[in-house]
Amino acid sequence: MTPRRRVSLLAALLAAAACAPRSLPQSDAGRFVVGEPYRMGGVWSYPREDYALAESGLAVALPDAERGRRTANGEVHDPAALVAAHRTLQLPAVVLVWNLDTGREVRVRVNDRGPTEAGRLIGLSRRAAALLGMRVGEPARVRVAVDPELSRAVAEGLPGAGGPRLAIATAPLATVEREQLAPPPGARAGGGARPEAVRPAPAPVENSRPPPPARLPEEVAQRGTVPSRLFVEAGTFFRRDLAERRALALGGRAEAFGPGPRPQHRVRLGPFATVAEADGALEATLRRGIPDAKIIMD
């Protein structure tokens, strides 16, 4: 083959490769991650695995305008996909986000840490924010709840989510031999049950349901709007006297909550008419050395 023909063939192969559809490498599927405590935006966060989380707060749109950067669990961020960032949830997870101002609700895949701003509950991709009807540059009042079934399904099989389980029925079974021995002197012979043949354990039932897609479908539910008020929560306590002491120092109040004869006590400031007022109260509380302060809604 002449050098000229070799160059022409190489150019043709490169052109064909450029036109062919590309599949993401397996590493782009990411890992299952919980992670260690970390500091972001002046606030410490403590990640944990939680499939029952339900909370309210402020959502913001993530600033990424282009696809390509790696998320905290190794996935590729795509602002056109329904993805999100959360400070403490296991990654990945699937959550329902309900915009209380527009009434719209969507499912998003949480695959990153954030938002960086203190007092923000969840960061949403541009597409997710648009489907929820969020205004550009403004936080939205939302309720967030984990979808436990889908969250477990999206994590299953990812690196870091646990090793493969050995099916008992596939293990080799050896022949069991029994020998009846006389009881030792002084022992009473009990009326033992008749020995039965050793049976192999039943094979575990495999879940035939296919795993959910990595890219969630754009399904928008209309739930209706809900009025809400903004508060700053500055800690929870089992002892009322400790809650009252902090409330007095911050100019807030201690409130009992939870069922049972021994409720917990939380310290609240507010309500606040605007997000700006809540942000100011949160900043002042953080400056007082209370790192677990956050903006909530009621």
Q: What is the pLDDT of residues 199-208, one digit of tens each?
A: 455 554 455 4
pLDDT score at 116: 92
**Are the CB atoms for 40 and 116 separated by under 8 Å?**
yes
Q: Write the CB contacts of 86 (distance below 8 Å, at least 6 apart in sequence).
A: 93, 95, 110, 112, 113, 114, 121, 122, 123, 144
pLDDT score at 172: 40
Which of the pair, 184 or 249, is modelled with greater confidence? 249
Q: Which range, 156-160, 202-206, 270-274, has the best average confidence (pLDDT)?
A: 270-274
Tokens coding 289: 């050395």
User: Residue 189 pLDDT more than 90?
Assistant: no
Note the Cα 64 to chain centre separation in Å: 20
Encode pLDDT of 235-270 as tens digits.
Answer: 999 999 999 999 999 999 999 998 888 899 999 999
pLDDT score at 150: 96
Angular region, 64: left φ>0, alpha ψ -120 to 50, beta rest: beta
Q: pLDDT class for 66, splitting at 50, 70, 90? A: confident
Q: pLDDT class for 294, splitting at 50, 70, 90? A: very high
**Are the CB atoms for 101 and 56 separated by under 8 Å?**
no
- Stretch 221-246: mean pLDDT, rounded? 95
Query: Model's pTM, two decimal places?
Result: 0.73
Which of the pair, 11 or 35, is modelled with greater confidence? 35
What's the topology of domain 229-298? Answer: Alpha-Beta Plaits (3.30.70)
**Are the CB atoms for 78 and 109 separated by under 8 Å?**
no
Lowest mean pLDDT among 19-23, 28-32, 104-108, 206-210: 19-23
Question: Is 24-161+215-225 in CATH node 2.40.40.10?
Answer: yes
pLDDT score at 298: 87
> Which segments of the chain does DSSP mark as H helices, in order?
3-19, 126-131, 148-155, 240-250, 275-287
**Are the CB atoms for 86 and 128 separated by under 8 Å?**
no
Tokens coding 54: 């339900």
Q: Write the CB contacts of 10 (distance below 8 Å, at least 6 apart in sequence).
A: none
Domain boundaries, the chain: 24-161+215-225, 229-298
How many other C-beta atoms can be found within 10 angstroms of the C-beta atom of residue 275? 16
Which of the pair, 45 or 11, is modelled with greater confidence? 45
User: CA 297 to CA 142: how far, in whole Å?
Assistant: 9
Percent of the chain having pLDDT more than 90? 62
User: Residue 21 pLDDT more than 90?
Assistant: no
